[in-house]
A and B are shown apart, each in its own frame.
Chain A
Amino acid sequence: MKKLTLVAAALCVALGGTAARAQDAGALLDLLVKKRLISDQEAEEVRTELVKESANTAAGKWKLSAPITELELYGDMRLRYEYRGGRLPSTNSGDFGQDHLNDWYERHRERYRLRVGLRGTLADDWFFGLRLETSASSRSTNVTFGGESSGGPFAKGDDGIFVGQAYFGYTGFPDFKFTGGRMPQPLITTSMLWDDDINPEGLAEQWKHTFTFNLGGGGGEAVQSYSKEGYSKEGKSVVAPAAEPFKLKLDVFANFAQYVYDDENPENPIGPNPVVGSGNGDQTGQKIPTTDAFMLAWQVGARLTFPNSVYVQLAPTLYNYTGNGDTFNIHFNGDPGGNQTGINSLLVFDLPAEIGWKIGDLPPMRVFGEFADNIEGHDRARAAGHPDHTGQHYAWMVGGAIGQLKAKHDWEIRAWYQYAGQFALDPNLVDSDIYDSRVNERGVAVKAGYMVADAISLNLTWAYSWRINGSLGTGGTGDIPINPLDQYQLFQADCSVKF
């Protein structure tokens, strides 16, 4: 018995005593039996002891179904103070007529958000993910403290938990990844087009291939490799950094997505199709097509990584829409009182680009930019009743960053300038913070972050914007209930914990 106790103790020490490691002990015990150092019976007694020990650990009490090969619990929580203000114009103030010119509408909010997820891999190259989030909004996971209008102080009326992500997919074919469900954004994009809180619903197909060129000596030699890495822990699409030494690496990728933008219900109503209601200008009385709305994305791109960690990335993308759904089927107008959500005449070409480098012990630096052009922007302007403003069909941004936020004591500063024409982008998708989900705005934004600990970060964000065209509204619906939003200012102070 003493021998068995010693063997068990040795295994516990060698294997760390955890539940998972206890299972690993089987191979060691089998080896000891094979070498006739212990008998089968003795091995069995040790095995049972180890199982008993592991059953009493926290990990040993979890039971996972057999197909799960890897499971990760992750999430974050954030506390935020936010100031958000918008100013009425100095002349006609839209929704407010000639009243309150130049007046500011301001909000101070203390907010939190919680996101908790499980993601993992399954046998035979399948994977899955589930993330629960606070807030029902597609473009926000924030809950405002004391925000309930009923239920007394500390009511829980808006502290609901919602399914933010629920997806699964397949990576069984080399270089390919297929995903279906409500998923992390598979496209490479920026906040100018897409709010990063949005988890699109539908299908995505991704392909990525890596060519590694060993330069030097007698000519280049190409080596192909493949990485299944596709999503960062933040749920954003990333291109993985090089895992092994190389001189030149080229990642070529293609991402395709078919998102269900809006479901029409029903597609075939009893009786005639519904018609556009009054107050919608020329559209009033027109029949509404009853079709689902889909958003299709076509992205191809490359990332070239040179020696010394210099990289260049381009990801040209085309977005188009089919159908109207039953929520977005009125033509976008963007002016006060007009429709702010229509998805008519949107065929957007987008080109996000980024160049990054790291020199010596200096923090990593990068410059980034994006240019987007709504190829059907002229039609969108005319449909909005502004044939004289068809030039508002493009958007762009340019900025730079220094530092990174990965580990304790890391810091980062980012700043950029952004310009978004009234008829350039889908106002239902643009970032809800910068600039309040609006288009026809231009301005600057600065973010600064510091990692207090590996899991704790502090972030400050400041943004200021101005209306681009004074004769148009600022399309989109944000937290500031005025249109046009002549000037806008945002300040956020965040403390986040990641786990």
Chain B
Amino acid sequence: MKIKYLALSLALPVAGIASAHADRLVIKGSDTLGAKLVPQLAEQFKAQHPGTTFDIAAEGSTTGIAAIIDGTAQIGMSSRRAKTSEVGAAASKGKHMKPTIVAFDGIGVIVNSANPLKGLTKKQVEQIFTGDVTDWSAVGGSGGKISVYTRNTSSGTYSEFKELAMKKRDYAPGSQKMAGNEQIAAEVGKNPNGVGYVGMAYIKASGVKALPVDGAVPSVKAVQAHSYPYWRPTFYYTNGDPSGLAKDFVDFTVGPGGQKIVAQVGFVPIK
């Protein structure tokens, strides 16, 4: 009988914690998604689900995928696909990486708005970001040493851009690594010789302009048609099919309400 009471006394606090955590959603990962889009989705979701709390950490896609592997988040935000090694690591821990596309994005190549360039070719983009050319005059500009701004290595955009635009080559040795899209846009906006890349939500930042690449601009239509060369899907990763609050939030994100916010923030809706 004493054992029954002991079990009950232990079970109650545990149930209490479970209950308290039942309305809390831990989301980690991509800065591209986590800086603007997901917080706004969370606000809207909270309005519809009072009592729900969010713990959002946007420190790069790698951290989001790692959080799913080690079980420290219910949703991992990622602006790139999980790598083979990550999927393998998850499988070895009994986890199943389930991707859900939540939005499309175009990675825009931005320069200072004072830069007279009207556009670049894919080859020129590769040459600029790998350091094959170091002066604007080599790509039809008016001269000046090119300052390359990139995301940091934990960023999904960092590796995605290498794959999409640079044939997986390394960035130019002198490139400066920034923590997020906003920082890149801010630096390029201040530097007349600056060049960087940002998600579509940031191409209209003050002092910068996005250059057409091979004549294609990063527009909603071009990204949805996959005709802009640097388009990409962005993801929520979950451990298997999401359930509970995570499922509700995923469904909300890909539903009409969520996709409206996706468009408002500057991403491209999936439909």
Contact = CB atoms under 8 A, between A and B. Distances in A.
A314 interface: no
| Chain B interface helix/strand/loop/mixed | mixed
A54 B101 contact: no
A233 interface: no
B88 A34 contact: no
Contacts of A52: 87-88, 91, 96-97
Most chain B CB neighbours (cut-off 10 Å) among A33, A55, A61:
A55
Contacts of B170: 66-67
Interface stretch (B78-86, B111-119, B179-187, B209-217): B78-86
Interface band, chain A: 20 to 34
B99 A44 contact: yes
Contacts of A41: 100-101, 270
Given A41-B101, A48-B98, A60-B84, A55 B91 contact: yes
Most chain A CB neighbours (cut-off 10 Å) among B84, B88, B104, B235:
B84
B169 interface: yes
| Chain A interface helix/strand/loop/mixed | helix
A51 interface: yes
B81 A60 contact: no
A47 B81 contact: yes
A19 B168 CA distance: 18
Interface string B61-91: 0000000000000000000011011011001
Interface in A105-131: 123
Contact of A66 (B81, B82, B91, B169): B169
Interface band, chain B: 20 to 34
A54 B226 CA distance: 26
Given A55-B91, A56-B91, A48 B97 contact: yes
B98 A123 contact: no
A45 B88 CA distance: 15
A52 to B, nearest CB: 5
Contact of A55 (B81, B87, B168, B169): B87
Interface string B210-252: 0000000000000000100000010100000000000000000
A123 B99 contact: no
A44 B85 contact: no
Nearest to B235: A44
B167 interface: yes
Contact of A60 (B88, B97, B99): B88
B84 A55 contact: yes
Given A40-B101, A44-B99, A56-B91, A19 B167 contact: no
Enumerate the 7 nearest inter-chain pairs by beta-carbon distance, A residue then B residue, closest first: A55-B88, A66-B168, A51-B87, A44-B99, A55-B84, A52-B87, A55-B87
Given A19-B84, A123-B167, 6 more contacts: A33-B226, A40-B233, A48-B81, A52-B87, A63-B85, A66-B168
5 contacts: A22-B84, A41-B270, A52-B96, A56-B91, A123-B169
